[in-house]
Structure 1
């Protein structure tokens, strides 16, 4: 009996990869809760920063785009750069995509993955049901799960981990920001997550301050009608750099490690969506600082200490602090990967080093989505990255393990 391929994760990258595997007739078992990160770790009322063209999950056949879903669901088409996608619509699209193209999805959690050293090799997986089975290849597509990042200067205030009911939480832990109505709230960060979290919390009745590092750090993108017309289009705007990174990620993994990690951080970095400016300005206070020094909770109330741009120390008290400080790929956080397997993986600053076709240094073990961004560029942080990643990963896997 041919061993199946295991896909771990049922977000956009996992679903897209599984759909391509099924289209090639490759036996596959897919594990996860469809769109769980989008459903449980994004705030209600959130709008996607990405445009409709950047929000389609790649499929091996026509008829499964975001526009196709809108037609099937009888909702207004989302097609132009000025159309804004509610997170609820995107979640429903992902679930529709799963039902159409990955109907055998197993809503179970993979507890462990280990390399088999006998009986032809492959991998042994254990599910939370207790089932053990063998896969000839494994695709890790776990998205943002377990990768929420807290800077050390904040993390010390939550030794047991961040929590919405404590002094400090991470932005990924919030679905309902109404719990902070009437409270003083500090949001640390300057990216879309920080600015939209702040705006939604203010609209829910909180008194919100954003603390951001650097003068002019809180900024918003230009609306589509003000984008320069003499530059090539990309899913993220008009710029030669964005066009190259979106459509030609092939040579990215050949760049020096320092350049690759810098570009992942800086390209399409902290910037609010053009449509958020009016909701944010006037509703949220902004404190631009040189850096955050510490978060103290000794008196039961969180107090943030920062070094101001003038060199003076500033102390800001609140009822709660939300760290909208993003995500950091760290294989150590992927505890379902066996210890021996992790020690055999080549890494670069915590991220797996991937070769052609998204394969890791362990033959048969593939990574896609955010963990692949350090090898294939910032486009892998976005849904439209499935268009490049999925067919290439599956082609390589089919050739190596077909």
Structure 2
């Protein structure tokens, strides 16, 4: 039996695994490293976060994005957006050098083991069953992709979520409507236009929000005090969400739910604005009222201040974000899922300060932790906070801290 099974090999799963490995735990990691980034992001996308705020976490900070960039020959400069492909390659390098092997089989079910010893059974698609005393669910964003109910009845040939667009070439010369007002919507619409499609943007918002040029990292002390810079942006509110997730957790459930839902709302990256404006037609202040297929195309009914508007389009892209909802996590055994305590009226798990759920030994990292710890859990930057605290929780739950060596700077592995 393993000490811990980590389900998911994205930034959070790999970071937790790196810390657990140094802690001396017998570890099993499932997932295809960086699968979301490799398989669900179109070529031409860039990271919205700054390179220095996009590190995966290992105890000695030996495997940073800057270190990999120096070896791979690309710059990781503040204020210079990084291509998705470079970040994906970094994550795979991290998995190879900071994590002791990743099992790429798909996990289909995680169930509680019966008996006094407890633990978990992890079922894989090929019929194997692996057991572990504790389990960490770090499955990323894909299970929680949100598609508006008005579009849910349409088939995949007519509608997809923005995470389903790896290759945009098939939309050349086609009319595509992108729904949303955040970075995913704005960048997807821009890339579609640059690929030869005819996109339009539809959003409920009456105006788009654009991030401003990032403030310099090197500034006079009084300027840093007035406008602090953090992994989630500039300003005191962003700094608090970025650096004090533990404080967010001590707020009321209702307040935490509100913060997770509304903080750091939709906005486009500063470097995208020039490419988008004047290139993508837009219908702002229009909400989806309905959708149906007419003569092989999608007819959208939009509600605006001037009354209903009908738009006919070949395809709809829902760039409408993600909902942290346990009911969408089908790989968790239904009785186990139903028995978990949740945050307020929502369906995200209530977590301890060490990311442990109400089921002893079951931990969560990433988006499902946002209603407990705040919006940093939606970004790669949150892995730096999550990984060491979660592994401390694992040590406590395993009740064998003395069996693990004290944390120390590990000897670097050979890197390429």
* Corresponding position of 1:32: 31
Taking the aligned partners of 1:368 and 1:172, their CA distance within structure 2 comes to 20
Taking the aligned partners of 1:234 and 1:213, their CA distance within structure 2 comes to 29
* Pair 1:178-2:169 in alignment: yes
* Pair 1:112-2:103 in alignment: no
* Corresponding position of 1:201: 192
* Pair 1:220-2:219 in alignment: no
1:289–1:306 Cα contact (<8 Å) kept? no
Single out whichever of 314-323 and 6-15 deviates more from structure 2. Answer: 314-323
1:225 is displaced (CA, Å) by 4.4
- How high is the TM-score relative to the length of structure 2? 0.91
SS at match of 1:68: helix
* Pair 1:253-2:249 in alignment: yes
1:79 is displaced (CA, Å) by 2.7
1:398 is displaced (CA, Å) by 0.4
Taking the aligned partners of 2:2 and 2:261, their CA distance within structure 1 comes to 38
SS at match of 1:399: helix
Taking the aligned partners of 2:74 and 2:158, their CA distance within structure 1 comes to 41
1:187–1:208 Cα contact (<8 Å) kept? yes
| Ranges of 4+ aligned residues in structure 1 off by more than 6 Å | none
1:150 is displaced (CA, Å) by 0.8
2:215–2:234 Cα contact (<8 Å) kept? no
* Pair 1:136-2:139 in alignment: no
SS at match of 2:203: strand
1:372 is displaced (CA, Å) by 0.5
SS at match of 1:130: coil
- Which residue of the other structure, out of 148, 151, 155, is the alignment partner of 1:154? 151
- How high is the TM-score relative to the length of structure 1? 0.94
1:254 is displaced (CA, Å) by 2.6
* Corresponding position of 2:63: 64
Taking the aligned partners of 2:85 and 2:183, their CA distance within structure 1 comes to 18
Equivalent positions of 1:262-281 (< 5 A) are: 262-281=258-277
1:215–1:309 Cα contact (<8 Å) kept? no
SS at match of 1:135: strand
SS at match of 1:258: helix
* Corresponding position of 2:75: 77
* Pair 1:382-2:379 in alignment: yes
2:119–2:361 Cα contact (<8 Å) kept? yes
* Pair 1:3-2:2 in alignment: yes
- Structure 1: where are the runs of 5+ without partners? none
Taking the aligned partners of 1:261 and 1:43, their CA distance within structure 2 comes to 31
1:29–1:106 Cα contact (<8 Å) kept? yes
2:12–2:380 Cα contact (<8 Å) kept? yes
Q: Please tell me the root mean square deviation across aligned C-alpha atoms, in Å.
A: 1.5
Taking the aligned partners of 1:7 and 1:121, their CA distance within structure 2 comes to 17
1:236 is displaced (CA, Å) by 2.4
Query: How many residue pairs are counted as aligned between the two chains?
Result: 391
Taking the aligned partners of 1:271 and 1:289, their CA distance within structure 2 comes to 15
2:37–2:88 Cα contact (<8 Å) kept? yes
Single out whichever of 219-228 and 28-37 deviates more from structure 2. Answer: 219-228
Deviations 1:20-54 (A, max 9, x none): 00001011100000000011111111011111122
Taking the aligned partners of 1:17 and 1:378, their CA distance within structure 2 comes to 19
- Structure 2: where are the runs of 5+ without partners? 218-222, 401-416
